[in-house]
Chains A and B, each alone.
Chain A
Amino acid sequence: MPSICFYFQVHQPKRLKRYTIFDINKSHFYEADDANSSIMRKVAYKCYLPTNQLMLELIKKHHGKFRISYSISGVAIDQMKKYSPETLESFKRLAETGCVEFICETYYHSLAFLYSKDEFKLQVEKQRQLIRDEFGQEPTTFRNTELIYNNEVAKAAEELGFDTILAEGADKILGWRSSNFVYQPVNCDHIKLLLKNYQLSDDIAFRFSNRGWAGYPLTACKFARWVHDLDGNAEAINFFMDYETFGEHQWEDTGIFKFLYALPDYIFKNPQFEFNTPSEVAKKYPVRDRLDVPYFVSWADTERDLTAWKGNFLQDDALEAVFKLRESVYHTNDESLIDTWRALTTSDHFYYMCTKWFADGDVHKYFNPYESPYEAYINYQNVLKDFSQTVEKALEVQLV
């Protein structure tokens, strides 16, 4: 009896406002309030609210047999509270159905794991508390930012008490094996690993409206048939994707909502199939193999590595600069400064600095509020310069 496991990522970074070298020492507020507010409201209107409504209907229609999971970053929830409280309310209504699992991540959707394990733990704990507070659940599944994963991440998640962890089902880690089974990280005792079926996930997330694609147009009937074809050779079919796929990346007029609404009906035509959340899948199926992933993988780009956020001169310099400040920031004991600093560790800031494929004008450009990766770096460094001076001043005051 194979399970279909949907996990949707909900994230909106706190984008920085335009901050030039001449703003240093004059302004200590870095968030692009206007842009963040309008983007949150726009995405709420196009995606979060209508998709949540549709999910709620599906859960009711299928009497609890349609089950899904979300990871909503802390910084996204912060912004929902500020700019779109009705969005957070609608997620809470989904939580109340009992059919929705909330997955834990780093509150700041950060790259902390790569630079400071202590910071990583603190940000995970903060997110865990947020899920308890907002959705009344104790999270047992963990996903690291952008599905950045290796053996060490799995170990850290296990030590933090999680039972399930999610990762990209990249060919380079699976080899001949299939993503459609439950695995265990080679260095762990009990945590279970669910891997994204990237072919089928990306058929929905990336290829759905691509007229040049052989599978176009993708109907729920056709997709369910592909899923049913896996029967007998799959236990956990994991569809992981950005929630913004619905209505934002794939606009409403592509038929994405109709597809989603019809999908469970077609899936249930084969009574062998059911929907489960990640922790349910992990409990339901035995570990079929142990997986050794010494190198980092992620779900980004075709490389499925870290190069979207790390590796060029700009990214490495900015990352080192921000994490170098950590100790001094904590010395200030100033909650607001600590929060500001942590928001500067959000992965998006470094994604904007990616020069890979920049000249070709690809997907990175679409998500980039800056004209170029260089602008992103300059803005970030200007902010960081002011912030580090603010921290220094706070420490001087303490000494006095």
Chain B
Amino acid sequence: MTKVLMYGWEFPPYISGGLGIACHDLTKALSEIGTKITFVLPTLQGKTDTNLHLELLSSSDHVIEETQQKTLSYEEFKERMDIIGIESTLRPYFTEKSYQEFIERLINKGAILEDHQNFYKLSLTGQYGPDLISEVFRYAYVAGKIAAKVEHEVIHTHDWLTFLAGVEAKRISGKPLICHVHALETDRSGINVNQQIYEIEKMGLHEADKIIAVSFLTKNNIVNYYGIDPNKIEVVHNAVSKNKSTQRTEYIKKTPDEKLVLFLGRITFQKGPDYFIEAAAKVLKEFPKARFVVAGSGDMMHRLIERTAELKIGRNVHFTGFLKRPEVEELFASSDLYVMSSVSEPFGISCLEAILFDVPVIISKQSGVSEVLSNALKVDFWDVDELANKILNVLSHPALSKELQAQSSEELKHIQWEKSAVKVEDIYKKLVPAHSY
């Protein structure tokens, strides 16, 4: 089986969103079919699961020996990167409103070079801080050093944060590079694309020997916005691996005839929370016993709260802010309906999680998960009337809710990481020359 050097930014418990969960579940399924993975993270702070299915490496702890051949100094490395239009004097760019939520969670700044006689370490935080771009560069620099030391046949990177690392690793080891796309800057920011991130993505995608997209929707975006040959892109859908939960709770106190409709995700343009609120107002006119929960935080939060007040539905709409995992699960378990009204959703694992909690789902047609899930209600994200029509019907007809629950749970049994892992291993095999077996 293939030896893979994998670069990621998140991995449980170092996690902030779906990327970490996807990386964990995919690598677990891969290791179960025999793939040997070394997974490189920016940092390993806090405790680690000792029964892990792969070897986790922290870039921060990696000892870089100056005497290694083929290596560039960090300064030289930065210069190389100028070719993709990024200035060598990196400025914090996270004044972009769309990333404000990360600032809140910024723990500490990295970027401390610790000099030790003839070797040194680069310190990385793994956070999405104001210094993110320079962290990405430092991570890439260390990634190259790691690639020289760790035995591998394929390099596999997850999203733009680690694409440079992959490119650098490929330069050092000469092994084939896979860029796995979970989300694109064009999904996250719509027309207000951050040019630096876009350029990093574009460079990674062009350098890659193979690209894995989490959906056909994402594949099309890669082709259309990044000018990539569609033949270089394979689609491997995400999945769920957790067991079905039977837990039901009342996260938000409600009377028996009240119904709870959940939105979970970053409160940003990409996730379409505004359509959810507009639909909520329409639903409440017909069904006053409905409650709407918006779980998450993001740059649209204030505008959304204002709009809620303007619509005079504040009593029935709850903003929870960013929630930790146990709270998220509690919220799933007390919901009657999950709505994912994303403008652009490369996949949308959260909707599969909702199904694990026996919650029927309404999903945006502009989502990757819509490609693999039939037993869901689907809407165009902009069609607020239709979204309200469907929410109202789920809330008023238990039969609809029950049938959706029953059929989607059944369907979920076939949306498994095992299948995705087999596809990924297949891609590895095609990239690795036969004699290495």
Contact = CB atoms under 8 A, between A and B. Distances in A.
Contacts of A355: 375, 403, 407
A381 interface: yes
Contacts of B378: 371-372
B389 interface: yes
30 contacts: A21-B286, A21-B389, A21-B393, A22-B385, A313-B402, A313-B406, A314-B399, A318-B399, A358-B374, A358-B375, A358-B407, A359-B374, A359-B375, A359-B411, A371-B378, A372-B374, A372-B377, A374-B375, A374-B400, A375-B377, A377-B397, A377-B400, A378-B389, A378-B390, A378-B393, A378-B400, A381-B393, A381-B397, A381-B400, A382-B393
A372 B393 CA distance: 14
A157 to B, nearest CB: 32
Nearest to B360: A374
Given A20-B386, A355-B375, A372-B377, A314 B403 contact: yes
Contacts of B124: none
A385 to B, nearest CB: 9
Interface in B395-412: 396-400, 402-404, 406-407, 411
A21 B285 CA distance: 12
Interface string B379-395: 00000011011101100
A313 B411 CA distance: 17
Nearest to B377: A374
Interface of B: 282, 286, 374-375, 377-378, 385-386, 388-390, 392-393, 396-400, 402-404, 406-407, 411, 414
A382 B375 contact: no
B397 A317 contact: yes
Chain B contact surface mostly: helix
A316 interface: yes
A21 B414 CA distance: 33
A20 B377 CA distance: 14
A206 B39 CA distance: 53
Nearest to A358: B374
Contacts, number: 67
B61 to A, nearest CB: 47
Contacts of B400: 313-314, 317, 374, 377-378, 381
Contacts of A21: 286, 388-389, 392-393
Contacts of A312: 403
A224 B398 CA distance: 53
A374 B397 contact: no
Contacts of B377: 372, 374-375, 378
Given A314-B399, A381-B393, A382-B389, 11 more contacts: A20-B385, A20-B386, A20-B389, A21-B286, A21-B388, A22-B282, A355-B375, A359-B411, A378-B389, A378-B390, A382-B393
Interface string A193-216: 000000000000000000000000
Contacts of A359: 374-375, 407, 411, 414
Nearest to B372: A359
Residue among B375, B400, B404, B406 with the most chain A CB within 10 A? B400
A201 B350 CA distance: 48
A313 B385 contact: no
Residue among B386, B396, B398, B406 with the most chain A CB within 10 A? B386
Interface in A274-318: 312-314, 316-318
Contacts of B385: 20, 22
Given A21-B392, A358-B375, A381-B393, A374 B403 contact: yes
A378 B414 CA distance: 26
A4 to B, nearest CB: 42
Interface string A350-386: 0000010011010000000001111101100110000
Contacts of B407: 355, 358-359
A22 B403 CA distance: 24
Contacts of A22: 282, 385, 388-389
Contacts of A373: 403
A342 to B, nearest CB: 23
A219 B398 CA distance: 52
A317 B388 contact: no
Contacts of B390: 378
Nearest to A24: B286
Contacts of B396: 381
Interface in A236-274: none
A313 B375 contact: no
A16 to B, nearest CB: 14
A307 B414 CA distance: 23
A361 B373 CA distance: 12
Nearest to A371: B378
Contacts of B388: 21-22
A147 B35 CA distance: 55
Nearest to A314: B403
A51 B170 CA distance: 67
Nearest to B362: A374
Given A358-B375, A358-B407, A374-B377, A313 B389 contact: no
B386 to A, nearest CB: 7
A318 B402 CA distance: 13
Nearest to B402: A313
A313 to B, nearest CB: 4
Nearest to B401: A313
- By Cβ-Cβ distance, the 10 closest A-B pairs, closest first, are A317-B399, A313-B403, A313-B399, A20-B389, A359-B374, A378-B393, A313-B402, A21-B389, A314-B403, A21-B392
Interface in A73-110: none
A312 B397 CA distance: 14
A355 B393 CA distance: 17
Contacts of A313: 399-400, 402-403, 406
Nearest to B393: A378
A313 B398 CA distance: 9
Contacts of B389: 20-22, 378, 382
B216 to A, nearest CB: 16
B340 to A, nearest CB: 16
Contacts of B393: 21, 377-378, 381-382
A209 B418 CA distance: 38
Contacts of B282: 22
Contacts of A317: 397-400
Contacts of B404: 374
A358 to B, nearest CB: 6
Nearest to A312: B403
Nearest to A373: B403
A381 B385 CA distance: 16
A318 B393 CA distance: 13
Interface string A15-31: 00000111000000000
B304 to A, nearest CB: 23
A199 B404 CA distance: 36
A316 B404 CA distance: 14
Contacts of A372: 374-375, 377-378
A364 to B, nearest CB: 12
Contacts of A318: 399
A358 B374 CA distance: 7
A159 B388 CA distance: 49
A374 B375 CA distance: 8
B228 to A, nearest CB: 29
A313 B402 CA distance: 7
A217 B186 CA distance: 52
A312 B399 CA distance: 9
